[in-house]
Structure 1
Amino acid sequence: MSKTVIYSSNAPEPIGPYSQAIQAGNMLFVSGQIAIQKSTGKLITNSIEEETEQVLQNIVDVLKAANMDFSHVVKCTIFLKDFNDFVAVNEIYGKYFTSAPPARETVEVSRLPKDVNIEISCIAVK
């Protein structure tokens, strides 16, 4: 099976030794995205809603680089610093997955990269 690095110039650069995504066959594994705005390089952390929007927009950009969109996503993992943000995150998340939402788990963690409040990773299939 071939393994291809997927890179989007519209999404933030990885902050460590990993790829934005890896395509293996017809499956795409998108690394956890945080709310770094590519155009400014700044973290968007004014509110959990804005932070979630930026994270999902970063995922949009990575999926586009692989000629995919949210309809191809079969699995998401959401990491939250504070589970009290669950309802607000769900509201924003639901705007991106309007039909046949993917399988998902959401977990509270003690700390995330750059001390953000949310990180989301996903798996998509063509």
Structure 2
Amino acid sequence: MKREIISTNNAPQAIGPYSQGMRVGDFIFTSGQIPVNPVTGELVMDIQKATRQSLENVKAVLEAAGTSLDKVVKVSVFVKNMNDFALVNEIYAEYFKENQPARSCVEVARLPKDSVIEIEAIATI
């Protein structure tokens, strides 16, 4: 199956040996997106603003691949503090209003750049 690297300037550049996204067949896999503003390089630390920025970064990678949030089938959310679950859900619900994808949300000990959240997605074309 053909593999194609997805790259965009509308999301933070990879900070390691990985791609922002990968297309394999009719599927798009995004790398985890932390809440870094791709224009300013600022790391957003307020959990609601950080959730929004991470989802905007995911959205940018998906759009660079020719798809959208409407085509997402699975989301993985990694949070620094599970007590933020309800606040994350408030923002998340704005992005996935209908046909909500399958999702996992787990608390982790540490994220890149000491971020408060990281989000990755799998979508179809």
TM-score by length of 2: 0.98
Unaligned runs of 5+ in 1: none
After superposition, the CA RMSD in angstroms is 0.6
5+ long unaligned stretches in structure 2? none
Displaced runs of 4 or more, over 6 A: none
C-alpha separation in 1, matches of 2:15 and 2:110: 16
Q: Are 1:93 and 2:92 counterparts? A: yes
Where 1:92 maps in the other structure, the secondary structure is: helix
Shift of 1:67: 1.1
Q: TM-score, normalised by structure 1?
A: 0.97
Aligned counterpart, 2:32: 32
Q: What does residue 121 of structure 2 align with?
A: 122
| 1:65 Cα deviation after fit | 0.2
Distance 1:81 1:42 in 2: 18
Structure 1: how far apart are the matches of 2:32 and 2:19?
10
What percent identity do the matched residue pairs reach? Answer: 48
Residue of structure 2 equivalent to 1:84: 83
Structure 2 distance, partners of 1:9, 1:91, is 27
Aligned residues: 125
Deviation at 1:69, TM superposition (A): 0.7
2:43 counterpart residue number: 43
Question: Using the alignment, how far apart are the partners of 1:87 and 1:96 within structure 2?
Answer: 15
